[in-house]
Amino acid sequence: MELNNISPAAGAKHAKRRVGRGIGSGLGKTAGRGHKGQKSRAGGFHKVGFEGGQMPMHRRLPKRGFKSTTLRFNAEVTLTTLEMLGAPEVDMLTLKQAGLIGDLIRVVKVVKTGVLTKAVKLTGIGATAGAKAAIEAAGGSLAQ
């Protein structure tokens, strides 16, 4: 096989439809564009959301809400997850290696969902008031 012998698979390439090339072609005169109007012209297009000069919908409706861009760097871990992990000492690296949080995560907080029976020492991880009480009741501790 040589580079000059390579050809596309059968049916992969097909000729572009030639429009506006006379009456006999079946697509002469207006070439399938209808009569007049912006859409019939060459270069006749408008941006997404344009409503012919009327105030567009996205500008008529009120702006609402806000989503912080730093939220993607935060993660939550449940007590159930810590129980399943079964490590005596847990920090960010342990959670990342276990695949419980993503690589971009910078802030982790333990939330009180489920039950914790094993003693776990948390380092560099925050916890809600309820989760902190549950961790300390199981014999664990939190350190910043």
57-111 tens-digit pLDDT: 999 999 999 999 999 999 999 999 999 998 999 999 999 999 999 999 999 999 9
Please state the pTM of the whole predicted model: 0.57
Mean pLDDT of 119-126: 95
**Residue 82 pLDDT:** 94
12-37 tens-digit pLDDT: 999 999 999 999 999 999 999 999 99
Residue with tokens 């907080």: 109
**Residue 111 pLDDT:** 96
Residues belonging to the chain: 144
**Residue 2 pLDDT:** 94
Ordered by start, the domain boundaries in the chain are: 69-143
Q: What is the DSSP string of the chain?
A: --GGG--PPTTS--PPP--SS-GGGSS-TTTTS-SSSGGGSTT----TT-BTTBPPHHHHSPP-----GGGGGEEEEEHHHHHHH--SEE-HHHHHHTTSS-TT--EEEEE--S---S--EEES-EE-HHHHHHHHHTT-EEE-
**Residue 86 pLDDT:** 87
Query: What fold characterizes domain 69-143?
Result: Ribosomal Protein L15; Chain: K; domain 2 (3.100.10)
Q: Please classify residue 84 by burial: count the beta carbons closer than 10 Å to its beta carbon, then call 0-12 exposed, 13-18 middle and 19+ buried.
A: exposed
